[in-house]
Amino acid sequence: MQLQTMAAQKLSPAAPPADAAIAIDDVTLRFVTPDGHMMTAIRDFTMTVARGEFACVVGPTGCGKSTTLNLVTGLLRPTTGNVRVMGNPVTDISRDIGFVFQVDALFPWRSVIDNVAAGPLYRGTPKAEAYDKARDWIARVGLARFEKHYPHQLSGGMRKRVALAQTFINQPKILLMDEPFSALDMQTRTAMQDELLGLWSELKSSVVFVTHDLEEAVALADKVYVLTAGPGTVKSVYRIDLPRPRVMADIRYDPKFIEIAKVIWNDLREEVQLGQSRGLQTGH
Amino acid sequence: MTAISPAADKAATRETSIAIAEARARARLRRRHALVIGLRLAILVIFLGLWELGADYNIIDPFFFASPSGIFEQIWSWITEGTSQGPLWLQIYVTLEETFLGFVIGALGGIAAGIILGRNRLLADVFSIYIKIANSVPRVVLGSVFIIALGLGMASKVALAVVMVFFVVFANAFQGVREADRAMIANAQILGASPFQITRTVIIPSAMSWILASLHVSFGFALVGAVVGEFLGAKQGMGLLISTAQGAFNANGVFAAMIILAVMALVVEFIITRFENYVVKWRPAPFNEQGA
């Protein structure tokens, strides 16, 4: 490494400590495709997220980024290795988890307030209390005037705000995000990133944020995991020591930010090229 | 760099010109609407007029193909003097009652079966073959079976309407359940929903537009079931009215009953559309259809 004083500090992957919020320990996941072939989604994957830490996962298309999130929710089970959330093995969908999807996963037949109140209502909170909470969270994401609107009446950015409120209302200790802002335009995305960091700093959740956008990862994260082209495994881990609170609109012009992004990009580039050449061969 | 700001003093004139353009566009829309209605009426008048003239000059034989005036007289006499089977309203009432019962039972059964099989892969795989077989039987033939088994009364007609409706609604409900968005289901699951809550709050609402689409078609089928059932053997109803008219070579009577049935179907279609708009008011407004 030519840069000795850089803010991106390369870490060596180690066995996760016991008190980590999320500990994925040496996990391999294989599955049989519908036409009968064995596919390896991720192999020898180790990842630790401390309590209150913001971790980003970047990697080329199809390297198993989203798979890591589904291991944490319990929707997928590892073939070998184990996954622990808040110290406990993952058996079922944990109440501590919140998930923000890449696609629009709001319920289009429910108004904004009914969407946001869904979580508490599913979990048995009395109606009045659930709606009070929902009103509070809608106000926090700046949509107080839109409580009675239906999702199709809102812009993409506003729908994402609703999705954030819908997730945060359950006050998840673990927050999983699967390229949540990738469908938004640049300006809206920046605003949403600020919104997310604001909510996160209040709630102190542990976050795993999957993205293909390296700059987004560096801007948001405490720690960036770079994955190899599929089957994915951790290529390297970087600690990002940019001071908080960060302002998304400005941080991309910070020389330190640029320096870090360059270093990680050098690491990521060959994987991206590898992934793309493979994609061209298989036609994906 | 110099920032360029557009002149603001033009704002007032711009507003008035916008108002004028809007008024013109609205007037154009109104004229088009009037034109569509006018053309529709014109086509109806020309069609009936040619038919009537053709019948008068014996180009179209009114004995076989009736005539508008004959049909009108027939309906009028049914209204004022009643039919050979009793008052007209009673015939309409009987047929509607059979249709409604068949429609409601068939639709509810179809929805329930569609949701249960849509949510359970094993059941769906096991039963799909039987449903295909049952669906390939021409259902009108079952009418004879029902008449034998259930007699000439209302039950046989209702049963026929039920089987006419059931498969259409079932197929749509099943498809709707299968098409429910996976991300939405996962979202509900992670937000804390139980399987039953997922069915109630995600699966059923997302299948609803499929189900409602099938209700439009299947009401027509229920009516067919009831009328065909009456054809095959009945003591009351519009189907019997048609078959009596047919037996007496009364073409006017057949057409008159047909028109009454069409009006009944249109009225109910209107009610179903109203219901649909109420249930799925969350949906973005569809492309605004002229005059509909």
Residues A181 and A48 in one domain: yes
Is residue A284's pLDDT more than 80? Answer: no
State the Cα–Cα distance between residues A269 and A260, nearest whole angstrom.
14
> What average pLDDT does this structure show over B31-49?
95
Residue A8, helix vs strand vs coil: strand
- A82 and A191 share one domain: yes
How far is it, in rounded angstroms, from Cα B70 to Cα B249? 14
The mean pLDDT of chain B is: 88
> Of A171, A191, A207, which residue sits at a domain end?
A171
Residue B208, in any domain of the structure: yes
What is each CA distance from B15 to B3, B8, B11, B19, B20, in whole angstroms? 25, 12, 6, 6, 9
Chain A: residue whose CA lies nearest to B181: A105
Question: How far, in Å, CA of A24 to CA of A64, rounded?
Answer: 14
**pLDDT score for B289:** 40
Give me the pLDDT at residue B290, please.
Answer: 38
What is the domain extent for residue B228? 80-279
Is there a contact between B210 and B173 (Cβ–Cβ < 8 Å)? yes
Count of the separate structural domains present in chain A: 2
pLDDT of residue A95: 86
DSSP B173-235: HHHHHHTS-HHHHHHHHHHT--HHHHIIIIIHHHHHHHHHHHHHHHHHHHHHHHHHHHHHS-S
Residue with tokens 């700046």: A142
* Beta-carbon separation of B205 and A170 below 8 A: no
- Asked if residue B136 and residue B28 are part of one domain, the reply reads no
Distance CA B163, CA B247 (A): 28
Tell whether the model's pLDDT for residue B244 goes beyond 70: yes
Q: Does the pLDDT at position A4 exceed 60?
A: no
Q: What is the least distance, in Å, from the CA of B215 to any CA of chain A?
A: 20
Q: Tell me the pLDDT tens digit for each residue of A215-226.
A: 999 999 999 999
pLDDT band at A178 (very low <50, low <70, confident <90, very high): very high
Torsion sign, CA atoms B21, B24, B29, B35: negative
Overall average pLDDT of the A264-268 stretch: 90
The answer to whether residue A267 is domain-embedded is: yes
Q: What is the pLDDT of residue A6?
A: 53
Q: Which residue type is seen at B172?
A: N
- The answer on pLDDT for B6 being more than 90 is no
Cα separations (Å) of A119 from A113, A114, A207, A261?
11, 10, 19, 37
Residues A215 and A75 in one domain: yes
What pLDDT is stored for residue B280 in this prediction? 77
Q: Is there a single domain that holds both residue A134 and residue A273? A: no
d(C-alpha A204, C-alpha B204), whole Å:
36
Judge if B216 and B117 occupy the same domain.
yes
Q: Return the residue in A109, A166, A170 with the most chain B beta carbons within 10 A, the one to mutate for interface testing.
A: A109
Residues B86 and B22 in one domain: no
Total domains in chain B come to 2
Is residue A136 in a domain? Answer: yes
Task: Select the residue of A103, A119, A152 nearest B191 (Cβ to Cβ).
Answer: A119
Q: In this structure, are B40 and B171 located in the same domain? A: no
Residue B260 lies in a domain: yes
> Which residue of B186, B194, B208 is in closest CB contact with A75?
B186
Chain B CB contacts of A107 under 8 Å are: 184, 188, 201-202, 205
The verdict on residue A3 lying in a domain is no
Question: Taking residues B99-104, what's their average pLDDT?
Answer: 95
Instruction: Please tell me which residue of chain B has the smallest CA distance to A175.
Output: B190
B65 falls within a domain:
no
B42 and B100 inside one domain: no
- HSE toward the beta carbon, residue B270, CA cutoff 13 A: 7
> Do A126 and A43 belong together in one domain?
no
**B100 with B239, same domain?**
yes
Residues A18 and A140 placed together within one structural domain of the fold: no
Q: Say which CATH number the domain at B235 has.
A: 1.10.3720.10
Chain A closest-CA separation from residue B210 CA (Å): 14
pLDDT: is B9 or B179 the higher one? Answer: B179
Question: B75 lies in a domain?
Answer: no
Residues A122 and A159 in one domain: yes
Chain A's closest residue to B284, CA to CA, is A152
User: At A196, which CATH number?
Assistant: 3.40.50.300
Is B282 in contact with A110 (Cβ distance < 8 A)?
Answer: yes
pLDDT computed for residue B155 by the predictor: 92
Q: Is residue B69 part of a domain?
A: no
Whether the predicted pLDDT of A106 surpasses 90: yes
List, for residues A115-132, the tens digit of each pLDDT value: 999 999 999 999 999 999
Burial class (CB in 10 A: 0-12, 13-18, 19+), A120: buried
Q: What is the DSSP letter of A230?
A: S
- Work out the pLDDT band at A5, boundaries 50, 70, 90: very low
CB interface of A with B, residues 70-89, below 8 Å: 73, 75
| CB A58, CB A268: distance < 8 Å | yes
Is there a domain that residue A156 lies in? yes
Residue range B41-92, pLDDT digits in tens: 999 999 999 999 998 888 888 888 888 999 999 999 999 988 888 899 999 9
Q: Which residue of B has its CA nearest to A168?
A: B191
Rounded Cα–Cα distance for residues A147 and A162 (Å): 10
pLDDT at residue A2, rounded to an integer: 38
Percentage of the residues of chain B whose pLDDT score is greater than 90: 58
Tell me how many helices (H) and strands (E) chain A has. 8, 11
Q: CB–CB of A56/A211 below 8 Å?
A: yes
Domain assignment of residue B286, yes or no:
no
Q: Which pLDDT score is estimated for A50? A: 92
pLDDT at A149 over 80: yes
Length of chain A: 284
Q: Is the pLDDT of residue A196 over 60?
A: yes
Residues B49 and B134 grouped into a single domain: no
Q: Note the pTM of the prediction, 2 decimals.
A: 0.79
Tracing tokens 């069409």 back to the chain, one arrives at: B262
Counts for chain B of helices (H) and strands (E), in that order: 12, 0
Does residue B284 sit within a domain?
Answer: no
* Phi, psi (degrees; rounded to nearest 5) at A63: -95, 5
pLDDT of residue B7: 61
A102 within domain boundaries? no
For A140, residues 6+ apart whose C-beta sits below 8 A from its C-beta are A165, A168, A199
> What is the reported pLDDT for A3?
39
Distance of CA B182 to the CA centre of its chain: 31
What percentage of chain B has pLDDT greater than the value 70?
94
Within 8 A of B194 by CB-CB distance, chain A residues are 122
Residues B47 and B94 both lie in one domain: no
Q: Which residues contact A80 (CB under 8 A, 6 or more apart)?
A: A26, A27, A28
The reply to whether A228 and A147 lie within a common domain is: no
- Contact with chain A for residue B150, Cβ under 8 A: no
Tell me, what's the pLDDT at A7? 59
> A211 is in which domain, residue-wise?
8-96+175-282
The verdict on A256 and A126 lying in the same domain is no
Q: What is the pLDDT of residue A1?
A: 38
CA angle B249, B251, B257 (to 5 degrees): 115
Q: Do A263 and A219 belong to one domain?
A: yes
B277 touches chain A (CB under 8 A): no
Q: What is the mean pLDDT of residues B109-137?
A: 91
Using CA atoms, how far residue B255 sits from A161, A202, B64, B67, in Å, is 60, 74, 11, 9
Q: What is the mean pLDDT of residues A32-57?
A: 89
Do B43 and B88 fall into the same domain? no
Strand order in the sheet with A234-240: A8-11, A234-240, A223-227, A54-58, A206-210, A174-178, A97-100
Q: pLDDT at residue A231 above 90?
A: no
Is ipTM > 0.90 here? no
Q: A75 with A209, same domain?
A: yes
The verdict on A146 and A195 lying in the same domain is: no
Q: Tell me if B287 is assigned to some domain.
A: no
Rounded to an integer, what distance in angstroms lies between the CA atom of residue B159 and that of residue B103?
10
DSSP 8-class letter at B86: B
In a domain, A212, yes or no: yes
Question: Is residue A166 in some structural domain?
Answer: yes
Q: From CA B125, how far away is CA B120, in angstroms rounded? A: 9
Does B89 lie in the same domain as B55?
no
Q: Which of B191, B206, B277 to mutate to test the interface with A (most CBs of A within 10 A)?
A: B191
Contact B189 A103 (CB under 8 A): no
A157: enclosing H helix or E strand: helix A156-168
